[in-house]
Amino acid sequence: MELYRSHVLICGGTGCTSSGSKSIEEAFNEALAKHNLTKEVKLVRTGCFGLCEAGPIVIVYPEGAFYSRITVEDVARITEEHLLKGRIVTDLLFKEAVAEDQIRSINEVDFYKKQQRVALRNCGVIDPEDITEYIAFDGYKALAKALTEMTREEVIETIKKSGLRGRGGGGFPTGLKWEFTYKAQGDQKYVACNADEGDPGAFMDRSVLEGDPHAVIEAMAIAGYAVGANQGYVYVRAEYPIAVHRLQIAIDQAREYGLLGKNIFGTGFDFDLEIRLGAGAFVCGEETALLNSIEGKRGMPRPRPPFPAVKGLWEKPTLLNNVETYANVPQIILNGAEWFASIGTEKSKGTKVFALGGKINNTGLLEIPMGTTLREVIFEIGGGIPNGKQFKAVQTGGPSGGCIPAEYLDTPIDYDNLIALGSMMGSGGMIVMDEDNCMVDIARFFLDFTVDESCGKCPPCRIGTKRMLELLDKITEGKGEAGDIEKLERLAENIKSSSLCGLGQTAPNPVLSTLRYFRHEYEAHVNEKRCPAGVCQGLLSYFITDACKGCTLCTKACPVNAISGEKKGLHVIDREKCVKCGACLDKCPFKAIIKK
Amino acid sequence: MKSIEELAKIREEALKKVDIRHDREGTRIVVGMATCGISAGARPVLMALVEEVKKRNLQDVIVSQTGCIGVCRLEPIVEVYSPGQEKVTYVEMTAEKAKRIVAEHIVNGKVVDEYTIGTAK
């Protein structure tokens, strides 16, 4: 076996890949070859480290030096200084990792300090394309334990006792789902994995598949053993090419090592997996639509019951769990139900992965114990709001969720608390908004998304959400009338109670929750024809104040020649001609142009 | 995969490949790897240390590198930092000497006096 004195871990998640980690890897390859270090230093492409904001990220062991925002030009310096001469290149380290000249371990950085990684434990630690690295970190030990030491009933009992709930959004107790499928009658059963992650801004499942695909494979094999299935399907969207690629490599390697296939661990248990690619329709994340899509039919939901546990794929009992749910399973089997149940709150056990985005300093992926407060996530782990702006609300649960305002920042995050606040856990997207965000506009954005993604099967969702969007368009364009808000509320309640599937039943949530906490913003739009955050173009006008020095820059910037005025004299905007593009405001060096 | 023993064997092999990626509390062996160190032959010393530590399966030991320690005429220099103990500086190292340091100092806790900076001329 080759020995390496240093390991250079390069993030190969989608985030860092799009910010150039691939060319950094190539540059390292060249630099190492040039300095004759290829036999001493090992390059490892890993999954997501979570701190996407600071990407591309490179970590060098054994020192654990955490380099952030690395460019191809930096590679030569890291190679010559750190790898060749052992001098850590301090100015390239993640800013928080340098404190009083002491280089702290990455685990002490604020972003990681409060995190607890269960589902993400291997992401950014192992090479996802090498099964032996997964095995080194206790991989497939849980499968071995389940197959050789536990009965099928014991496996189900362990999952039930752990308190694990579905991480895809609904929060249904996972153990119960397993039990229903186990008890269902059928000559053939299936297990399936929902990797059709569609919430805007959410990328938890993608990161697990990219960083630790074997965890999902192992968990699905355990689930197959428990419920009595020998075939599994992973439904993943084609828009996740890196995840699909690594998952396929992982499946092939697992087959090669006999961890998938016939007679696993000599116990007579057979199990195999296949990938099914989705075309990226949001509705296919709904379980019955997903099953239809796997079967090759049009991805549309059907009424439940019968639930998939009774009649799923090809009318056979089918267990369907989400990627993150599966990623927890091997750890629960290995460490026991009590261990898992000791993390989290009374009714929400374990940890949850969140994709943090929007107006936040540390955009990225994090995993926290349930019960951590929103404030801790946003202001400690997330590093707060950029540019000294005021926090306004946080959106959780994507297009099915809602906005939570500042007064509830100290709420501990769990399934039930978020529902009580009119939002939901969802799959774990978390979008932070500051004073510059208009809540009516946010609601409009999410509704626009659901209108686009509605499959059209049931009228409440197909027609109702469209009507709601029209009302919101009207309000944000400044044409709102008295009674519009009440109409929105009535429509929302009707759509919620009469839609066929989860997509329609939750589609009005962004509107309802913003109405609940920010009704005054809706009223300002309708009654005063004013957008308090200054976002809705239709309600804004641009003015030039006395601070104008007559530099004429704005007249040159204006695309419609709406600004006139003498050189060195006060300029004016013709509001009839103005198209409210904002170009003049960006150009003015004296901050003389305002919008209100 | 036919048995758990087979999995355990793969795991043991694979662990050696990845255990560099843990945080450790224990002893740090640092090799001076500035231009002076490298030209005096620090690289084979470093690799000998890495190999020896790995061979003896010393879990809590980090082999790392640093810049110029300052006494260029005595390079290659190796320093050993053990928790709660004075730092020990070894000078004019070779791969052979390095192996002896791992065996006597790191494993048995006995400083190899004849290689330390105090005895250098």
The interface predicted TM-score of the complex, written ipTM, equals: 0.77
**What domains can you pick out in chain A, each with its CATH number?**
6-109 (3.40.30.10), 131-341 (3.40.50.11540), 351-434 (3.10.20.600), 439-527 (1.20.1440.230), 541-595 (3.30.70.20)
Name the minimum distance, in Å, from the CA of A221 to any CA of chain B. Answer: 14
Pairwise CA distance, residues A337 & A207, whole Å? 25
A211 and A122 in contact (C-beta within 8 Å)?
Answer: yes
- For A241-400, strand residue ranges (E) read 261-264, 269-278, 318-322, 351-358, 364-369, 391-396
Question: Per DSSP, which regions of A296-378 are E strands?
Answer: 318-322, 351-358, 364-369
Q: Does B74 touch chain A (CB under 8 A)?
A: no
pLDDT at A97: 61
Sort strands A351-358 and A429-434 into parallel, antiparallel or unpaired. parallel
Residues paired with A431 in a beta bridge: A357, A395
Residues of A in contact with B17 (CB under 8 A): 1, 132-133, 136
Residue A113 — pLDDT band, cuts 50, 70, 90? confident
Closest Cβ opposite residue A140 in set B7, B17, B46? B7
Contact A505, A465 (CB under 8 A): no
Task: Encode pLDDT of B9-65 as tens digits.
Answer: 999 888 877 777 766 677 889 888 877 788 888 889 998 998 898 888 888 888 887
Confidence of residue A55 (pLDDT cuts 50, 70, 90): confident
Residues of chain B positioned with their CB less than 8 A from the CB of A133: 14, 17-18
Our CA-based measurement puts residue A363 at a distance from the nearest CA of chain B, in whole angstroms, of 25
Q: Nearest by CB to A135, which of B7, B19, B63?
A: B7
**A441-450, pLDDT tens digit by residue?**
999 999 999 9
Rounded to whole angstroms, the Cα distance separating B54 from B61 reads: 9
Query: What's residue A108's pLDDT?
Result: 67
- Minimal-distance CA residue of chain B relative to A257: B1
Kindly indicate the confidence band of residue A160, based on its pLDDT and cuts at 50, 70 and 90: very high
Best of A58, A135, A257, A272 to disrupt the B interface by mutation (most B CBs within 10 Å)? A135
Q: Which amino acid is at A361?
A: N
**pLDDT above 60 for A102:** no
State the pLDDT at residue A439.
Answer: 96
Q: Quick check: helix, strand or coil at residue A556?
A: helix
Minimal Cβ distance to B21: which of A3, A125, A138: A125
Return the residue of A nearest to B65 by Cα: A86
Instruction: Provide mean pLDDT across the span A76-101.
Output: 80
Q: Closest partner residue to A266 among B3, B17, B21, by Cβ?
A: B3
Q: What is the pLDDT of residues A168-212, one digit of tens each?
A: 888 999 999 999 999 999 999 999 999 999 888 888 999 999 999
Q: Which residues make beta-bridge pairs with A58?
A: A10, A67
Q: Is the pLDDT of residue A378 over 70?
A: yes
Q: What pLDDT sits at residue B23? A: 63
Q: Is A352 helix (H, G, I), strand (E, B) or coil?
A: strand
Q: Under an 8 A CB cutoff, do A3 and B51 touch?
A: yes
Confidence of residue A2 (pLDDT cuts 50, 70, 90): low
Spatial neighbors of A348 by CB under 8 A, at least 6 apart, are: A163, A165, A171, A370, A371, A414, A415, A416
- Check CB contact under 8 Å for A5 and B50: yes
- Of the candidates A7, A64, A265, the beta carbon closest to that of B4 is on A265
CB pairs under 8 A between A and B: 97
From A189, A188, A165, A187, select the one nearest A176 (Cα to Cα): A165
Average pLDDT over residues A407-418: 95
In chain B, what residues touch A259 (CB-CB under 8 Å)?
1
Mutation target for B interface from A37, A61, A272: give the one with most B CBs within 10 A: A61
Phi and psi based region of residue A588 (left: phi greater than 0; alpha: psi -120 to 50; beta: remaining): beta
Query: A538 pLDDT band (50/70/90 cuts)?
Result: confident
User: Which residues, in sequence order, are bridge partners of residue A322?
Assistant: A194
Element (H, E) at A45: strand A41-46
pLDDT at residue number A484: 96
Residue in chain B closest to A40 (alpha carbons) equals B47
Q: Which domains does chain B have, with CATH numbers?
A: 23-119 (3.40.30.10)
Residue A307 three-state SS: coil
Predicted TM-score (pTM) above 0.80: yes
* pLDDT value at A99 more than 60: no
Q: Tell me which residue of A152, A181, A366 sits closest to A287, measured CA to CA.
A: A181
Residue in A62, A64, A257 nearest the CB of B1 = A257
| Cβ contact, residue pair A126, B1, below 8 Å | no
CB contacts of A258 in chain B (<8 Å) are 1-2
CA atoms within 13 A on the CB side of A117: 19
Distance CA B120, CA A338 (A): 59
Spatial separation of the C-alpha atoms in residues A60 and A75, rounded to whole Å? 12
* Residues A205/A427, Cβ–Cβ less than 8 Å: yes
Closest CA of chain B from A13, distance in Å: 19
CB half-sphere exposure, A539, CA atoms < 13 A: 26
**Partner-chain contact B10 A257, CB within 8 Å:** yes
Distance from the Cα of A84 to chain B's closest Cα (Å) equals 7
Cα–Cα distance between A204 and A354 in angstroms, integer? 7
Decide if A78 touches B, using CB distance below 8 A. no
Q: Output DSSP code: residue A412.
A: B
Reference A349, options A407, A422, A400, A425; nearest CA is A425
* Interface contact flag, B47 A86, Cβ < 8 Å: no
Distance from C-alpha of A490 to C-alpha of A495, rounded to nearest angstrom: 9
Cβ contact, residue pair A135, B62, below 8 Å: no
Instruction: Flag if A141 and B33 touch (Cβ within 8 Å).
Output: no
Residue A163 dihedral angles phi and psi, to the nearest 5°: 80, 10
In Å, how far from its chain's centre is CA A308? 25
Contacts of A107 in chain B (CB under 8 A): 23
Contact B66 A63 (CB under 8 A): no
Q: Is the pLDDT of residue A107 over 70?
A: no
The order of strands in the sheet holding A402-405 is A364-369, A351-358, A429-434, A391-396, A402-405
**Range A568-575 average pLDDT:** 90
Residue the block writes with tokens 């800013």: A95
Tokens of A71: 């460019």
Residue of A3, A117, A270 best to disrupt the B interface, most CBs of B under 10 A:
A3
**Which residues of B fall within a CB distance of 8 Å from A263?**
2
Q: Flag if B3 and A40 touch (Cβ within 8 Å).
A: no
Q: Could you read off the pLDDT of B77-92 as tens digits, one per residue?
A: 998 988 778 888 999 9
Pairing verdict, β A98-99 and A102-103: antiparallel
Residue with tokens 């364009």: A477
- Return residues 14-73 of B near A (CB < 8 Å): 14-21, 23-24, 30-35, 38, 43, 46-47, 50-51, 54, 62-67
What proportion of chain A, given as a percentage, has pLDDT over 90?
77
Test A5 with B46 for CB contact under 8 angstroms: yes
Question: Is A132 in contact with B67 (Cβ distance < 8 A)?
Answer: no
Secondary structure class of B75 (helix, strand, coil): coil
DSSP secondary structure letters along A433-446: EETT--HHHHHHHH
